[in-house]
Structure 1
Amino acid sequence: MIRNHLTIALRSFFNGKGYSFINVTGLAVGMACTILLFMVVQHETSYDLSQSNFERIYRVETENIKENHTYPGTYTGMGNALRADLPEAEIIAPVMQTGGRTMAAGEKKFRESFVFADNALFRTLDYTWIAGSPARALSQPGTIVLTRAYAEKYFGTVDALGKTIRVDNAQDLTVTGVVENYRVTTSFPFNMLVSFGTVKQLDPGFDDNRWNGWNDNYQVYVLLKKGIDAAQLTGRFEDVVLKYMGKEMLADKRFKLNRLSEIHYAGNLGGRTANTGLLKTLSAIGVLVLLIACFNFINLSTARAFKRAKEIGIRKAIGSNRKALIYQFLAEAGLITFFAGVISLILSILLLPVLAAALAIPLTLDDLLTPQIALFTLVLLVLTTLLAGVYPALRLSGMAPIWTLKNNAVPRTGQWFSMREGLVVVQFTVSLVLICCAMLIDRQLDFFRNADLGFNKSAIITVGLPDNKPEKLQTLRNELTRSAQIKDVSFSFNSASAESNWMQGMEYREGPKVVQVKSQMKMGDSHYLDTYGIRMLAGEPLKDSDTTNFRILVNEIFLGRIGITNPRAAIGQRVYFGDGNEFATIAGVVRNFHVNSLHQKIDPTLIQIVPNNYYQAGIKLQNENASTASIQTALADIEKAWTAVYPDHLFEYSFLDETLAKAYQSETRTARLIEAATILALLIASMGLFGLATFTAEQRTKEIGVRKVLGASVSSVVGLLSKDFLKPVVLAIAIASPVAWYLMNQWLQNFEFKISISWWLFLAAGLLMTAIALLTVSFQSLRAAMLNPVKSLRSE
C-alpha cells in the first residue's frame, strides 16, 4: 500500500511540474529560513548553559532606583563586603576588564585587552587545564594564565609555564597556567587572566575598597550554596548599602543578583549581547515565512483539485474509502516536503555564512550538522507535511463521487472559496506588515545617520593614550600638528559622544534651596570644543591652566535643571561636587549635544580640565571630505608621531563616525533581516499568486472564449481576471496598515529621539503591494485573454 501511495505521488508530482516547482521552491525557502533562524535563536539562548554550576552562579548588579536603570558593574568594595557579609555565598569571584595594553613576548607585540581575576574564578567557572594549578595559578602578583590559542600565539607552543609577557614595557607577567580555549557560547571569552594582585602595580591609584563610584568593567560573580534562593537575599544587600554607603543611599541604590543564564542579554565582559526583541522577531519571521509557504501549498492543492475530480470520483466509486485517499494526499504532501527539505538544507549551507556575517554571530557549518538541528529538521518536515497537507487531503477526499463523475469538477462552495481567499489575505498581510516595518526602520536609521548631534563627528580619528603625562602629550601634539593633513588635536577622557561615561553628582545651592543634578562629566583640554565642533552660547572657553580654579562649562539641560533660563545669567555661578564643600565655577554654557546614542535623552553635562583623566586623543583632519589618499597620508603621519612618542606601544585608531554607528548595530541588523524576510515572503506569496492565476485561467478557458466571441476586448478580460486577485490584496492592505502602525509605534518607544509615523508610508507600501500583485497575475491574465477563442472552446 505504501509503495502504491508513493508511486501515485511521484506520478502526480511529475504530471504537474509547474505546480510542483512552485510548492517545492516555496517550501524549501520557508524551511531554510526557519532552520537558519532556529540556529540563531538556539545559539543565542545557549550561552553559559554548559557551566556545571550555572543554576547557582549569579552576577551582582547595581540598580539606580531614581533612574530605573540597572548596571552590570558594581563598586570595587563589593567583593570584600560580600566575603564578610554574605554567608550564603560559597564563592565570591570578582573580575575586572582592562583594554588597550601592549603585550610583548620577545619580538612579538600585540594590542590586547585582558581581565584581572583570582583563583576563585576557576572554582566558579569550568576550565580544562593543560598546565598549572587552578588553586595557585593567580595567587601571586605578576602572574598570568593563557588559553591554548594565546600560548601558541605568543610562544608557539602550549609549553609556556614560566615564560614572561611584558605589559606596556613596564610590568613582567609570568605564565603560571594554560587552559583550553573557551567555548564559543560563553560570556567569558578571556584569553588572558592576570592576578588581581597585579592591579596596583599597573595602576597605583586603584582602590579595591571604593564605594563612591563604579565601573561596568568591574563585576562580581557569586556561587551560592546549594539550596539558597537568590530572591531571599534582598535583605542582605540592603544591609550592605546601610553598612558601607549609609542609610540615605537606600532610596537611590539597590544591589541584586542576576542569573548567569541572563547576562548574555545585558552588558557583559564578553562584548557580545543578544537582543531579546530581535530573537523574538527572528522567531516570528521564521514561523510566518514557513506558514506563507504552507498556505501556498494549500491554495494550489485545492485550486488544482478540479483536474483530479474525476480521479477521486472513480477511486471512490470502485471502493476506495476516505481514509485511503487522505493517506494518498498526505503521501503526496510528504513527497513534496521531502524534496523541499533536501533543497532547504542546501540553501541553509549556502546562506549560513551570509547570515552569520550579517548578525556577527560565530556560526559555522559544524553548527548546522548537529543532532539538535537534525532533530529539528525532522520535526519540521513532519509539521510542514501536516500543515500543508491535512486541509487539502480532508477537502479533496470529502468530495462526493457522483458529483465529480458527472461534472468533472470540484463544487465551488462559498466556504471553500473564502478559505482560499483568506489564506491569500494572510499571506499578503504578513508581507505588507514586513514592507511597512522595513521602510520605517530604514527611515529611523537614516534619522540616526543624519541627525544633528550638536557636534561634528566627521573626519575625526580617535586614538587611545597609554601614557597621559603632560610632557608626553605636548610632544605628541607638536608632532601631530606638523602634518598638513591635521587641523586640531584634543586630549580627553573620551569623545563628545561615547557609550562609556563618567557620572558625577552635583549640587546647586541658592540660599536654603538645594538642587541635586546627576551629570555627565566630559574631561577635555582647551582644544576640546574646536576639535568636536561644540558651540558656545555664553561665557568663554576653558584654558589648560584651569586645573586649579575648577572652572567648568555646562550645557543647556544642566541650566534647566538648576532653574536658570538665561545662559549669561549662569556665568560665575557655583555648583558643588556631591554634598561636599568643593565647588566649581561656571565659566561658560555650551549648546546641547548628544553625549549618548539617540536611544537615550541628553544628560546634564559638564566639561572640565582634568589632565590626569586624559585617555584618548581626538584628531581632527583638515578636510571633512578627504580622499582615500589624503586619509592614508594622515594616518601615516599620525602613526609616525605616535611611534616617536610611544615607541613601545602598538598604534591603533578608529574613526569617530564609525564608532558612533556601532551603537545602532542591533537596529541595522534588524532592518537587514526584515528586508530579507520581506523579499522571501513576497517571493513565496507571489509564486503562489502566480500559480493560482494559472489554474484560474485554465478553469475559465471556456468562459473567456465565449466572452471574446461576444466581443469582449483583451483589456476587459485581463481586468476581469485580475479583479478577483486584487480583492484579497486590498483587504490585506486594510488589515496590515494598523497592525504595522502598532508594531512600529511599540518599536519606536525604545528611542528617546525618533521619527514620526507618516500616513504616506502605508500608502506607498500598499501601492507597491498592489503593483507586485498586478505584475504577478497580469502575465497569465494576458496570456489567457489573447488565446484564440476557437482553441479555447475546442479545448472544452
Structure 2
Amino acid sequence: MGPRTSAPDPQPPKWAGRLLTFLGDPETAEELAGDLLEMYAYWLETGSKARANRRYIWNALKLIRPFSRRKRANPYPNPHSLTPAMIQNHFTIAFRNLFKSKGHSLINISGLAVGMSCAILIFLAVRHETSYDLHQSHIDRIYRVETENIKENQTYPGTYTGMANALRTDMPEAETVAPLLKIGGSTMAVGEHRFRESYVYADAGIFKTFDYQWISGSPADALTQPNTIVLTRRYAEKYFGTTDATGKNIRLDNKQDLTVAGVVEDYPATSSFPFDMIVSFPTLKNVNPDYDQNRWNGWNDNFQVFVLLKKGTRPEQLIGRFAGVVKKYMGKEALDHKRFKLAHLSTIHYSGNLGGRSANVSLLKTLSLIGALVLLIACFNFINLSTAQAFKRAKEVGIRKAIGSNRQSLVYQFLTEAGLITLLAAAGALILSVLALPSLAAALAIPLTASDLFTAETALFSVILLIVTTLLAGVYPALRLSGMAPIWALKNNVAVQAGQWFSMRQGLVVVQFTVSLVLISCAMLINRQLDFFRHADLGFNQSAIITVGLPDNKPEKLQALRDNVLRSPQVKDASYSFNSASAESNWMQSMEYRQRPEVVQVKTQMKMGDAHFLDTYGIRLLAGEPLKDSDTTHSKILVNEIFLGRIGITQPAQAVGERIYYGDGDQFATITGVVKNFNVNSLHQKIDPTVIQVVPDNYFQLGVKLQSERPTAASVQTALSHIEKAWTAAFPDQVFEYSFLDETLAQAYQSETRTARLIEVATFFAVLIACMGLFGLATFTAEQRTKEIGVRKVLGASVGSIIGLLSKDFLKLVVIAFLIASPIAWYAMDVWLEHFEFKIRIAWWMFPAAGILMTAIAMLTVGFQSVRAARLDPVRSLRSE
C-alpha cells in the first residue's frame, strides 16, 4: 500500500475566474479574484461544493462590468514600470536569478545559442542563394530562351544555334540578343605557362545585355573581330601579372592565338555568369569550322541564348511569336512537339545555367524549415524550464503582488530575464557561427566568410532574431508567472497550482520529440536513397574507369595515344567518345522512324563512341553486331531498348536492318545492333532513347578501363603515370587532367548528399537541445518528488521501481511523439522521392527503428537523474521536511 498523500484543494470553476479577469475592472480584477478565492475556501468549509461553485459564479458575474460600479480613480497610481530605476531593478533581479539557478540557466543559454546560430547560418546561406544576378541593372527585362519538348513534358535550358539570328531578324521586341556557348577543358598558354581552362564564346551582345565594368578596351568592338578575347582582372593578373593586358596574346589549345581586346572587373560571387575568359564568336569558325551556327536540328545545353526586351515590352508578346519561328525554321509539323519559353534571369540560378552551379529550391526550403524548428525547440526548452520552476518563484510573485506590484511590472521583470538569457545566447551564437561557418560553406559550396556575419543585413536579421526569440521564449512564462493569484502563490501547496501548466509542458516536449523523430527518420531515408544511388545497376560498369579530356581528335594522334595507353599491364581497354556512358551534358537529336503509317518522331540522346565503347564501359549487346571504327558515315548505329519501344518494335532482333532518319531530312542510318538499357543520365531522370554512332570529329574524351575492378592505390598510381606519359607524348603543349568516372557520376547527387549531411547535423542539434530540456525537466521532477521517493523507499520500494516511476511519464511522451512523427516523416519523404525516377521504397520498419533510437536517447537522459534520485538516502530526503 502506497503512502497517503493530501488531496489537492478543490478549485472553483476556472471559466468564471477567467471571465472576471478579462471583463472585470483591470485595476481591481486581481485583488477581487484573490478575495473570491478566500471566500470560496470559506464557502467550501461551511457548505457543499455545488453551493460554493454557484456562489462563486454569481459573485464573479456581479463583479463584471458594467454590472459593477466603477471604482474611483486611485489617488496613488502605481509607479511606472519603465523608469530608469525600475529598469535597473529588473536587470539586478534578472542577474540574481541567472546565477541562482546556474544549471537551468546554462541549459537555456546553450540551447538558445545553438538554435540562434542555426538560424543565422541558414539565413546567410539562403540570402546568398537568393541574391544571384540581382546586381544586373536590366534584370527586369532579361530572359533566357528555353526549349520545351511537348510530348516529353520537359524543358531544357539550351536551344538551337539558329535561335540567336531568329531573335534578331524576326522579333522586334528584342532590344539585344546574347548567345553564349560554354567550352570546357581547353589549354590556354602564355609563353611556358599553361593552364586548363573553361571559357565562353560570345558576341558584343553580352556587354549590352549584362553589366560589366571596363578597365581597358571598348565594349562596342571588343568581340566583333575573330581571334579576340576579353579577360577579367583576376585572369589578366594571372596570365600577365598586370591588368594592362590589352593587345597581348594567349594561345588556345596550341592552335590559335587570341588577342586580348579588353579587361573587365571581376564578376561578383552571386553571378550566374562566372566567366573569366570570353572569346569572340567569329573565332569559332577558325577553331571548329564544322560547327553550325544556324542549326535547327539538335541542340546542346551548353549553348544558351539571352534576350533583353525593349522597355514596355511584355514577355508574352515575344512568346507569341515563337510559333511563327517554329513554322518558319522547323516546319509546321514541329508545332506539335516543340515549343520555346522564356525564363526570367532571376530564376536561372535554380535550373541549368552556364555557371555550373544551381541552387536547389527544395534544399533552401528545407534549410529554412530546419532553422525555424531548431530555434523553436530551443525556445520550448526555455518555456518548459521556466514554467517548471514556477513553484520556486511563486512566493516571490505572491509577495510582490501583496505589497502592491501590478501584473505589468511582473511581466516586464520576466521579459527582462528572458531578454538577458537571449542576449547571452546571442553572444554564444555569434561564436558558434564563426566556428561553424567554414564547414557550412564547404558543405554547400558557397563562398561565405566570417566577414558575412558582420554585414548590415546580418546585423538587422540578428536584432530581429533576438527580439523574436525573446518574445517566443519569454512571453508565455511571463504571462503565466505574473498571472498567479496571491492567495495561491503564498500557499504551501503552490506546486499543485503550478500543475495546471503541466499539460502545456507535455505538449511542448511532444513537439520537441516529434521534430527530432521526423528529422531522424528523414535522415535515415535520405541515406538509404543515397546508398541506392551508389550501388544501383546503371546498365554499365563505372568502376575502375579513368576519363581524360582530348584537346585534339586527329586520327593519327588518337591511334598513337591508344596504342601507347594499352601497353600498360594495368590497362584493360580504352575508348574514344563524345562523353561517358552516363553524363550530365547531353547531345539531343530528333530522329524519325518512317516504316509506320504515321511517322514516329523520337527525341534521342546521341552517344558518339568508337568500336571499343561497349567493351570499355561494359554495355551489353542484345542483338546484331557492334560498330566498327570504319563506320564513320553516320550510316550505322546502335540503339537501346527504350528507342525500340518508342518506334513500336518489341524484339531486338527485329530492329536490325531498320532505317532511322535524322530529323525530317533524307539522311538516314541503319540499325546494326541493339544494346541493353543503361542510364545515360543520372538516376533523377528516365532513361532516354539512345543512339550510339561512330563520329571521330566529336571525340572529346578518352575512357580507360583498368584490369582490376578494385585496383590498389599503387596500381592506380602506376596506371595514371603511364597514361599521363602517353597523353603528354601525344599532346606535348597541353595540360593533363583526369577524373574517375564513379566520382564524376557521384557529383550528380551532390544536392542530395548536402541535404543528408545538413539534416544529420540538424538532427544532432535538435536531439541535443531536446535532451538538454528533458534533463532539466527530469531534474525538476526528481526535486519535486523527493519526499515521495523517500516515503516509497522506507516502505520497501526498489530502485528499479522508482526509476520506472520517474521515467514512465517521459516514455509516454516519446510514444505520443512517435505516433505523430511517423506519418509526417512518411509523407515528407514520399514527396521528396517523387523527384527521382529511380528510388527506394519506404520501409515501415524504419520508423519504429527511429522511435526506438529516440526512446533510448530519452531514457538515457532521464535515467541519469532517475537513478540519482532513486539512490538518495531516504533519511536525508525526509529530513528536509
Q: Give the structure-1-normalised TM-score.
A: 0.98
Whole-angstrom distance in 1 between the partners of 2:140 and 2:552: 42
SS of equivalent residue, structure 1 residue 772: helix
User: Does structure 1 retain, via aligned residues, the 8 Å contact 2:299–2:589?
Assistant: no
| Pairing 1:133-532 to 2, within 5 Å after superposition | 133-407=218-492, 409-412=494-497, 415-510=500-595, 512=597, 514-532=599-617
User: Does structure 1 retain, via aligned residues, the 8 Å contact 2:298–2:590?
Assistant: no
Aligned to 1:711: 796
Query: How far is the alpha carbon of 1:644 from its aligned partner?
Result: 0.7
Is 1:632 paired with 2:717?
A: yes
Aligned to 2:622: 537
Aligned to 1:93: 178
Counterpart residue identity of residue 612, structure 2: H
Aligned to 1:29: 114
SS of equivalent residue, structure 2 residue 446: coil
Q: 1:607 aligns with which of 683, 688, 692?
A: 692
User: Does structure 2 retain, via aligned residues, the 8 Å contact 1:508–1:562?
Assistant: yes
Query: How far is the alpha carbon of 1:415 from its aligned partner?
Result: 4.8
SS of equivalent residue, structure 1 residue 618: strand
Q: 2:102 aligns with which of 17, 26, 32?
A: 17
1:4 to 1:665, Cα distance in 2 relative to 1, 3 A: same
Note the alpha carbon deviations across 1:220-242, whole angstroms, 9 max, x for none: 21111222221333212222222
| Pairing 1:726-741 to 2, within 5 Å after superposition | 726-741=811-826
Question: Where does the alignment leave 5 or more consecutive residues of structure 1 unmatched?
Answer: none
Note the alpha carbon deviations across 1:335-390, whole angstroms, 9 max, x for none: 00000000000000000000000111111112121000011001100000000000
SS of equivalent residue, structure 1 residue 228: coil
Q: Say which is worse superposed, 173-182 or 391-400, in terms of deviation.
A: 173-182
SS of equivalent residue, structure 1 residue 546: coil
Note the alpha carbon deviations across 1:408-447, whole angstroms, 9 max, x for none: 6344466521111000000000000000000000000000
Whole-angstrom distance in 1 between the partners of 2:570 and 2:197: 29
Query: How far is the alpha carbon of 1:741 from its aligned partner?
Result: 0.3
SS of equivalent residue, structure 1 residue 406: coil
Note the alpha carbon deviations across 1:486-521, whole angstroms, 9 max, x for none: 111101111111111222333334363543332222
User: Does structure 2 retain, via aligned residues, the 8 Å contact 1:306–1:408?
Assistant: no
User: Does structure 1 retain, via aligned residues, the 8 Å contact 2:641–2:674?
Assistant: yes
User: Does structure 2 retain, via aligned residues, the 8 Å contact 1:509–1:575?
Assistant: yes
Is 1:688 paired with 2:764?
A: no
Counterpart residue identity of residue 123, structure 1: K
User: Does structure 1 retain, via aligned residues, the 8 Å contact 2:634–2:693?
Assistant: no
SS of equivalent residue, structure 2 residue 494: coil
User: Does structure 2 retain, via aligned residues, the 8 Å contact 1:309–1:408?
Assistant: no
Counterpart residue identity of residue 360, structure 2: N
Whole-angstrom distance in 2 between the partners of 1:503 and 1:393: 65
Q: 1:676 aligns with which of 726, 748, 761?
A: 761
SS of equivalent residue, structure 1 residue 510: coil
1:574 to 1:135, Cα distance in 2 relative to 1, 3 A: closer
SS of equivalent residue, structure 2 residue 692: strand
User: Does structure 1 retain, via aligned residues, the 8 Å contact 2:186–2:551?
Assistant: yes
Counterpart residue identity of residue 682, structure 2: S
SS of equivalent residue, structure 1 residue 67: coil
SS of equivalent residue, structure 1 residue 752: coil
Query: How far is the alpha carbon of 1:290 from its aligned partner?
Result: 0.2
Whole-angstrom distance in 2 between the partners of 1:543 and 1:206: 25
Aligned to 2:846: 761
Q: Say which is worse superposed, 374-383 or 616-625, in terms of deviation.
A: 616-625
Counterpart residue identity of residue 647, structure 1: P
Query: How far is the alpha carbon of 1:12 from its aligned partner?
Result: 0.2
User: Does structure 1 retain, via aligned residues, the 8 Å contact 2:685–2:836?
Assistant: yes
Whole-angstrom distance in 2 between the partners of 1:572 and 1:525: 20
Is 1:114 paired with 2:186?
A: no
Aligned to 2:27: none
Whole-angstrom distance in 1 between the partners of 2:380 and 2:527: 29
Question: Where does the alignment leave 5 or more consecutive residues of structure 2 unmatched?
Answer: 1-85
Whole-angstrom distance in 1 between the partners of 2:660 and 2:464: 66
SS of equivalent residue, structure 1 residue 504: strand
Counterpart residue identity of residue 587, structure 1: T
Aligned to 1:39: 124
Q: Say which is worse superposed, 404-413 or 696-705, in terms of deviation.
A: 404-413
User: Does structure 2 retain, via aligned residues, the 8 Å contact 1:504–1:519?
Assistant: yes
Counterpart residue identity of residue 791, structure 1: R
Whole-angstrom distance in 1 between the partners of 2:438 and 2:450: 8
Whole-angstrom distance in 2 between the partners of 1:429 and 1:732: 5
SS of equivalent residue, structure 1 residue 169: coil
Following superposition, which runs of at least 4 residues in structure 1 exceed 6 angstroms of deviation?
none
Q: Say which is worse superposed, 342-351 or 701-710, in terms of deviation.
A: 701-710
SS of equivalent residue, structure 2 residue 827: helix
Q: 2:660 aligns with which of 571, 575, 591?
A: 575
Query: How far is the alpha carbon of 1:701 from its aligned partner?
Result: 0.6
Q: Say which is worse superposed, 579-588 or 391-400, in terms of deviation.
A: 579-588
Whole-angstrom distance in 2 between the partners of 1:307 and 1:638: 76
User: Does structure 1 retain, via aligned residues, the 8 Å contact 2:173–2:317?
Assistant: no
Q: Say which is worse superposed, 291-300 or 542-551, in terms of deviation.
A: 542-551
SS of equivalent residue, structure 1 residue 268: coil
User: Does structure 2 retain, via aligned residues, the 8 Å contact 1:330–1:385?
Assistant: yes
Is 1:792 paired with 2:877?
A: yes
Aligned to 2:162: 77
User: Does structure 2 retain, via aligned residues, the 8 Å contact 1:127–1:179?
Assistant: yes
User: Does structure 1 retain, via aligned residues, the 8 Å contact 2:245–2:260?
Assistant: yes
Whole-angstrom distance in 1 between the partners of 2:298 and 2:688: 18
1:490 to 1:124, Cα distance in 2 relative to 1, 3 A: same
User: Does structure 1 retain, via aligned residues, the 8 Å contact 2:383–2:476?
Assistant: yes
Query: How far is the alpha carbon of 1:400 from its aligned partner?
Result: 1.1
Is 1:748 paired with 2:837?
A: no
Counterpart residue identity of residue 602, structure 1: I
1:254 to 1:571, Cα distance in 2 relative to 1, 3 A: closer
User: Does structure 1 retain, via aligned residues, the 8 Å contact 2:778–2:862?
Assistant: yes
Whole-angstrom distance in 2 between the partners of 1:775 and 1:196: 67
Q: CA RMSD in A?
A: 1.4
Q: Give the structure-2-normalised TM-score.
A: 0.89
Q: 2:647 aligns with which of 562, 565, 571?
A: 562
User: Does structure 2 retain, via aligned residues, the 8 Å contact 1:404–1:410?
Assistant: no
1:368 to 1:166, Cα distance in 2 relative to 1, 3 A: same
User: Does structure 2 retain, via aligned residues, the 8 Å contact 1:310–1:408?
Assistant: no
SS of equivalent residue, structure 2 residue 391: helix
User: Does structure 2 retain, via aligned residues, the 8 Å contact 1:314–1:401?
Assistant: yes
Note the alpha carbon deviations across 1:504-557, whole angstroms, 9 max, x for none: 333334363543332222221111111011112222222222234823222222
SS of equivalent residue, structure 2 residue 734: coil
Whole-angstrom distance in 1 between the partners of 2:351 and 2:269: 17
SS of equivalent residue, structure 2 residue 321: helix
SS of equivalent residue, structure 1 residue 727: helix
Whole-angstrom distance in 2 between the partners of 1:124 and 1:561: 41
Whole-angstrom distance in 1 between the partners of 2:641 and 2:865: 64
Counterpart residue identity of residue 625, structure 1: R
Sequence identity (%): 74
Whole-angstrom distance in 1 between the partners of 2:104 and 2:317: 62
